[in-house]
Structure 1
Amino acid sequence: MFDNIQFTTLNPSHFIQVLHCALKSVRSYVRLMMKEMELAKWDIVAATKAIEPSAMLAKQSHACFLFESFVCKTMLQGFDSHDFSGLKSLHREQYFNAFKTLKSANPKSFLVQNPKSGFAKFIRDKYLKLVHPKMECSFFGNLNQRKMVISGGFSDTAFFMAFTEMGRRFWLLHCLGLSMSDQVSVFQVMKGYRFSEVYMENVSEESLFIDEIVDGADVDFRVGFTVVPGFKIGKTVIQSQVYLSPVINPNGTSLLDGNTLR
């Protein structure tokens, strides 16, 4: 994967490629997580309300966007910090070397061989933050995976391996970002802010069509929630991915005012 990337030719398109791979793994992990929820007889609607109580979804199947939002927010927490990857502060080329080392590695083998590495620490920390004990217990009937992770080990279940692959791609994304610039950060678009093509991309055109909207109503479309935060690498901005929701204005005046970002 990404064998053609060289330190001397790094540019934002490389970051976007790795980001797309990371988001692909997020979607795969969310599908697996939702499947486990269904098998465990979870109330999916209640689970989405716990993430974003007032979210208005155009289709029931769009619940996946809320789970993707939760996963991305958790996995990217601390991305602004050089400590995110569990590595000590390195020079840009050293971050790129770390990227090269793990980009083609088998994550399971790497963890077994390097249980005290920055990547291993990252995987342990993020798993414990993302997977609540009640969730794990409802999925598997016990907390064995959690206990193993806390004790420094790593499970070989499909669920944990899917998480590890997703974590690997976010770890690579961070190392690649710091290979390009010392200033790497994420930004979250606040709920209710107006759409900006500069900073945002709408994840679903279907979100613009809600059955409850009465024809002729004065409607604006605002950010319902952020699915994937945006990124800033030096002076380069990479759009966030948002879910737009309709806002009906009872007074007939425009809602398109105010700022876009916090």
Structure 2
Amino acid sequence: MTEMMDGTSPTPKAPPISEMFQKFALAFKTKTFEFFADESAAENPPTSTVSPSSTQPKISFPIRKNPDVGVALPIESCLEAQVQENQSKLRVLGIASDHLQAGIDRKDNEVSALRKQLVDLQKSNFKLANRATHKFTKILIDLMRKAGWDLDLAANSVHADIEYAKTGHNRYAFLSYVCLGMFRGFDLKKFGLDEGDTEILCNGHVSDSVKTHSSLKQLLEHVSSSPVELLHRNPNCEFSKFCEKKYQELVHPTMESSIFSNLDKNEEVLNSWRSLRIFYESFVNMASAVWMLHKLAISFDPVFEIFQVERGLIFQWYIWKI
């Protein structure tokens, strides 16, 4: 109090130690917070979102990933997809190929079966033609006998100087005469009906597929109906011309008039090859069998061959059976 009253300034007191420690601690704490704040800002920089401008050009690059991580590249994925697609197509084509091959094998089996049937039909038709020629020859011999013919003399006129083991064996001369007449022209495409008829190609030569198809068609049409009915229905057909030609070759006018003029008056007699019903039907059936045999032979590729045994050869039955 005395000093203040005298007007003299008082001397400042030194701050206490506790206050100094508080200020120091506060400054240290502040610096510590600033240090850690700067370090956190350095580790996590602030992010900013920038919306692209409509006028700013977009630049894109193909995304390629590291192949080491096991993820396929886009180009490799496309190629793999194409490979899988092609493999799928190949599997489909393989199934279709197997199906077509099975169809081909089935058709081959059918063709083989039909070829076997065709061969069997040819053998059957040959036997039919053989029986038909025997039947017609027998009827012809009976007519000649009724007409008073000398059968030995007639047989000698067909094949001279033949010594027969038995009297009745002269019928083989007439059978030979009928067979040679019916099969004359068998190696020709039209069976000798046309003047310019050409020979059938044999021995493995290529046959005409068009004419082969025509022969098969005629064969099927002929088989589907009776030969006698066929002549009545179409008297100008090719088969009718064949019958007319073969009859004129076998039974010439002198022979015909001699046979039919001496028959009994009770029998129906006409001035043509249709004179007797039995004679007529037997000849037509024989001609039909030979006609079908010819059409059937042309249908084969190569076509069947016909051969003629030379005179003077020794007859062997087992060869004939073959």
TM-score interval w.r.t. the shorter chain? Answer: 0.5 to 0.7
How far apart, CA to CA, are the structure 1 residues paired with 2:316 and 2:257? 41
**Partner-residue secondary structure (3-state), 2:149:** coil
Q: 1:73 and 2:192 equivalent?
A: no
Q: Is the 8 A contact 1:95 1:179 kept in 2?
A: yes
Identity of aligned residues (%): 27
What is the CA deviation profile of residues 33-66 of structure 1, one whole-angstrom value per residue up to 9, with x for unaligned ones?
Answer: 1111111111010011011112221111212211
Q: 1:189 and 2:296 equivalent?
A: no
What is the CA deviation profile of residues 137-175 of structure 1, one whole-angstrom value per residue up to 9, with x for unaligned ones?
Answer: 1121199534xx6xxxx5563212211111011001001
How far apart, CA to CA, are the structure 2 residues paired with 1:145 and 1:75? 22
Match of 2:125 in 1: 18
How far apart, CA to CA, are the structure 1 residues paired with 2:219 and 2:234? 15
Structure 1 length as normaliser, TM-score?
A: 0.64
Give runs of aligned pairs for residues 156-195 of structure 1, distance below 5 A: 157-194=277-314
Q: 1:145 and 2:271 equivalent?
A: yes
Amino acid at match of 1:67: F
Q: Is the 8 A contact 1:74 1:126 kept in 2?
A: yes
Match of 2:158 in 1: 51
Give runs of aligned pairs for residues 98-117 of structure 1, distance below 5 A: 98-117=218-237
Change (3 A) 1:197 1:63: closer
How far apart, CA to CA, are the structure 2 residues paired with 1:96 and 1:103? 10
Structure 2 stretches lacking a partner, 5+ long: 1-112, 198-207, 263-268
Match of 1:135 in 2: 255
Change (3 A) 1:117 1:182: farther
Change (3 A) 1:189 1:65: same
How far apart, CA to CA, are the structure 2 residues paired with 1:66 and 1:10? 34
Q: How many residues align?
A: 191
Amino acid at match of 1:48: A
Q: Is the 8 A contact 2:185 2:192 kept in 1?
A: no
Moved more, 119-128 or 180-189: 180-189
Amino acid at match of 2:296: L
Choose between structure 1 and 2 for higher RCO, CA contacts under 8 A separated by at least 6 residues. Answer: 1
Name the structure where helix makes up a greater proportion of residues.
2
Q: Is the 8 A contact 1:37 1:139 kept in 2?
A: yes
User: Structure 1 residue 177: deviation in Å?
Assistant: 0.8
Q: Is the 8 A contact 1:78 1:84 kept in 2?
A: yes
What is the CA deviation profile of residues 41-95 of structure 1, one whole-angstrom value per residue up to 9, with x for unaligned ones?
Answer: 1101001101111222111121221111110000000000011185998532331
Q: Is the 8 A contact 2:270 2:276 kept in 1?
A: no
Name the structure where strand makes up a greater proportion of residues.
1
The root-mean-square deviation of aligned C-alpha atoms, in Å, is: 2.8
**Partner-residue secondary structure (3-state), 2:286:** helix
Change (3 A) 1:190 1:118: same
How far apart, CA to CA, are the structure 2 residues paired with 1:124 and 1:68? 19
Amino acid at match of 1:125: K
**Partner-residue secondary structure (3-state), 2:235:** coil
Give every structure 1 segment of 4 or more consecutive aligned residues whose post-TM-superposition deviation is greater than 4 Å.
6-11, 85-90, 194-198
Match of 2:148 among 17, 21, 41: 41
Structure 1 stretches lacking a partner, 5+ long: 1-5, 203-238, 240-262
Match of 1:206 in 2: none
Match of 1:201 in 2: 320
Moved more, 77-86 or 35-44: 77-86
Higher Cα Rg: structure 1 or 2? 2
Match of 1:120 in 2: 240
Structure 2 length as normaliser, TM-score?
A: 0.53
